[in-house]
Amino acid sequence: MLNKSTLDLKLDFKITPEQYKEIILQALNEDLLPVGDITSSCLVLENQKSTFHLVLNENAILAGIKIFKDVFSFIDKDTSFKGVFEDGYTVDKKTIVVVISGNAQSILKGERTALNFLGHLSGIATVTRKMVDLIKDTDVILLDTRKTTPLLRAFEKYALRVGGAKNHRYNLGEMILIKDNHIANVGGVEKAILKARECYGNKYKIEVEVENLEQLKVAIRMKPDIIMFDNWNAGALGQAVKLVPDDILTEASGKIDPGNVLSYARTGVKYISTSYMIKNAKWIDYSLDAV
């Protein structure tokens, strides 16, 4: 099976090119510092040229092909690649995804790091696509969260987009999200929203989390941009969403997984945010085989 998603897969990792490269180099250094690849240096001739096939060992959505290639290119810019597959393709197992040619020592140095990135990100994209497919007949948009692997957020959020989800805020400076601890600290939903507007005016969107009908009624009166229903069951949520005027967006969050995502999607909310795609993604198995 081979198809290309119509998604917008711009390689926007929300980090600078320098940060992008640094993440890959740091990952490579886990294998190469302080003395390099002593096995390949011993057993493979320094100037030996070789060709390798990247083989997919299970059906998957591809994600991380550019990162995979860049691992090798950062080691040796003369490494070459051939292949028609890009991120977002659905590909069957036993498919040769990429043909890599170049210095054998250089390719072997980057093999594990490149496969680690690719297997991890393809796993996220694959499970995300399954979640998206479960709610495809609704108008609900699936969002991620900030529950990501430290230092890999940019890559993981990209893989989620490859799978068909949208990104929630990238970090704490992107929008105001008033959660339960903020509300408890300030003394209520109304005070929290008023304080946020006092600090920033209309500079940032405001989202507020509500845990019950009392908080919901206050939030509606204060007119934030988004109301998040945190850990509501689908039945109660379906009734509560009807109270929210059309000019306020709604979001469901908390313990949402493949078993209940459709029930939540049918409540009438605009967004569903969940960390399921990161926390439950299984690495996709790839092999790099010398020809």
Identify the CATH number of the domain in which residue 116 sits: 3.90.1170.20
Say whether both 231 and 259 belong to one domain.
yes
pLDDT at residue 1 is higher than 60: no
Say whether both 87 and 166 belong to one domain.
no
Say whether both 128 and 234 belong to one domain.
no
Q: Is the peptide bond before 150 cis (omega within 30 degrees of 0)?
A: no
Say whether both 203 and 236 belong to one domain.
yes
Identify the CATH number of the domain in which residue 238 sits: 3.20.20.70
- Write out the two tokens for 207: 């989202």
Say whether both 127 and 151 belong to one domain.
no
Say whether both 267 and 149 belong to one domain.
yes
Cα 84 to Cα 18, 66, 91, 105, 114, distances in angstroms? 27, 13, 11, 25, 18
DSSP secondary structure, 52-77, as one string = EEEEE-S-EE---HHHHHHHHHHH-T
**Contact of 228 with 198, CB cutoff 8 Å:** no
Mean pLDDT confidence for 48-59:
98
Q: Compute the distance between CA of residue 177 and CA of residue 182 in angstroms, rounded to an integer.
A: 9
Say whether both 105 and 141 belong to one domain.
no
Domain of residue 174: give its range.
Answer: 137-279
pLDDT digits (tens, 9 = 90+) for 216-264: 999 999 999 999 999 999 999 999 999 999 999 999 999 999 999 999 9
Say whether both 242 and 285 belong to one domain.
no
Please give the tally of structural domains in the chain. Answer: 2
pLDDT at residue 4 is higher than 60: no
Mean pLDDT confidence for 128-133:
98
- Write out the two tokens for 287: 């092999």
Say whether both 198 and 187 belong to one domain.
yes
- For residue 210, give the amino acid letter: V
Q: How confident is the model at residue 97 (pLDDT cuts 50, 70, 90)?
A: very high
Say whether both 59 and 164 belong to one domain.
no
Quick one: 255 exposed, middle or buried, by C-beta within 10 A (0-12, 13-18, 19+)? exposed
pLDDT digits (tens, 9 = 90+) for 177-192: 999 999 999 999 999 9
pLDDT at residue 19 is higher than 80: yes
